């Protein structure tokens, strides 16, 4: 073997041994423990307790006592009206209004196919303002939105543009409700708390 072959063989064996050798873990060093720092004067003060969001007077105020679902009905003149009033937080209200006109009512301005039909429609409106003075709740209502109706042979335009119903869908209304014990009374309709 020549010197060049011997040197290359020796370098090859050394490289093989270096590549296959196990690596040692890093040396373990102990970190000296530092004593826990003493609390500073600022952190030793107790933190102020957060103020409660509502006070006892707010939770028992009359406007909060009106919170819930109120149901009222009205019957007469061949019609039945069911109203659901929902008051939340003593600040907002929504009303669903369902009206059924019985078949013996004659409608002059509806399509012929619906003139002797039972007409049903459901509407909803939301409050833009709600206030309570003494036992009188005043709600400023936005216009109604038509949710459903039957028979469908009556076009939506009859509700939106009809002489009587047009006011419901275009005008705002201010309504007063008088709290009378466990009842709300407005325009002769008595609302009872449902929940």
- For the chain, domain boundaries: 59-193
Question: What is this structure's pTM?
Answer: 0.63
Q: Which of the pair, 135 or 39, is modelled with greater confidence?
A: 135
Q: Tens digits of per-residue pLDDT, 90-123?
A: 889 999 999 998 766 556 667 777 777 888 989 9
What are the φ and ψ backbone dihedral angles of 163, each rounded to 5 degrees? -55, -45
What is the C-alpha separation between 103 and 79, in angstroms, rounded?
Answer: 9
List Cα–Cα distances, 106 to 48, 74, 110, 114, 115, in angstroms.
71, 20, 9, 9, 6
Q: So what's the pLDDT on residue 152? A: 86
What is the C-alpha separation between 149 and 79, in angstroms, rounded?
Answer: 15
| 178, 190 Cβ separation under 8 angstroms | no
What is the C-alpha separation between 125 and 169, in angstroms, rounded?
Answer: 9
Query: Which residues, 6 or more positions from 26, have their beta carbon under 8 angstroms from its beta carbon?
Result: none
Q: Tens digits of per-residue pLDDT, 115-150?
A: 778 889 899 999 988 998 999 999 999 999 999 999
């Amino acid at each position: 073997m020549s010197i060049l072959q011997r040197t290359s063989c020796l370098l090859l064996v050394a490289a093989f041994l270096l590549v296959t050798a196990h690596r040692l873990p890093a040396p373990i060093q102990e970190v000296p423990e530092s004593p826990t720092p003493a609390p500073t004067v600022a952190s030793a003060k107790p933190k102020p307790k957060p103020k409660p969001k509502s006070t006892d007077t707010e939770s028992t105020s009359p406007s909060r006592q009106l919170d819930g679902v109120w149901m009222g009905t009205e019957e007469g003149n061949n019609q039945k009206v069911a109203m659901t009033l929902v008051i939340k937080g003593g600040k907002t209200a929504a009303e669903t209004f369902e009206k059924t006109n019985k078949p013996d009512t004659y409608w002059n301005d509806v399509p012929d196919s619906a003139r002797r039909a039972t007409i049903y429609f459901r509407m909803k409106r939301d409050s833009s303002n709600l206030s309570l003075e003494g036992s009188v709740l005043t709600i400023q209502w936005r216009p109604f939105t038509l949710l459903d109706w039957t028979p469908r042979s009556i076009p939506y335009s009859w509700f939106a543009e009809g002489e009587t119903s047009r006011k419901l869908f275009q005008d705002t209304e201010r309504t007063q409700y008088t709290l009378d014990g466990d009842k709300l009374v407005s325009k002769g309709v008595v609302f009872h708390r449902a929940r």
